[in-house]
Amino acid sequence: MRIGVIAIQGAVSEHVDALEHALLERGEVAEIVTIKHSGLVPTCDGLILPGGESTTLGSLLVREGIADEIKEAAAHGMPIMGTCAGLILLAKEGDSQVEKTHQDLLSLMDVKVNRNAFGRQHESFEANLDVSVLDSQYNAVFIRAPAIVEYGNDVKVLSKVGEFVVAAEQGNLLALAFHPELTDDLRLHQYFLDRVFGR
């Protein structure tokens, strides 16, 4: 198995560490590849789009020719987990800020995002979330977090903060508004790996 982590910008090494720990925990082996150029995504069995700055990430993915590879891989069912800025990139539609700046989105999930849903006064915070696929609460770290504000019928909501959807899935795509790589709780990386390993 090969798991790719888009490594153009943002929280890359933390995801690599989390994956390594999660693999050890489940006693499974996979190669983890950090991806900065085209040609690698098609060789992977799963992919993580990390947090960072979604405008920068989006335009570099297009420039490097990686965006098209991700769309192709997603269409063929590759499990993909997008966290924070990664969630924004997975979305089909953004808010007025996204529209105004003609931000490049991958347009894979039938969701509309608010890029900075929680505003400046809550630049970062932690919250204990009920996540429908986990058997107990999950302490999530939010940093200038986005949220899903509208979604289609194919989207399954996994967790909310008030009215904001902060975790959701659509088929092989998993989107988290927070940073699972910044906590020791590996359950959401395990949930993603369950898909990669097909169980």
Q: Is 144 in the site for ligand GLN (CB under 6 A)?
A: yes
List the one residue out of 140, 191, 178 whose CA is nearest residue 26. Answer: 191
Q: Is 116 in the site for ligand GLN (CB under 6 A)?
A: yes
Any catalytic annotation for residue 122?
A: no
> Count of residues binding ligand GLN (CB under 6 A)?
12
Any catalytic annotation for residue 181?
A: yes
Beta strand spans in the chain (E): 2-6, 31-35, 46-49, 80-83, 91-93, 109-114, 124-129, 138-143, 147-151, 156-161, 164-170, 173-176
Q: Is 51 in the site for ligand GLN (CB under 6 A)?
A: yes
- Give the nearest distance from C-beta 62 to ligand GLN in angstroms: 15
**Quick one: which segment of 46-54, 73-81, 150-158, 182-190 binds ligand GLN (CB under 6 A)?**
46-54
Q: What length is written for the chain?
A: 199
The residues carrying an active-site annotation are 84, 179, 181
Interface with ligand GLN (CB under 6 A):
51-54, 84-85, 88, 115-116, 143-144, 146
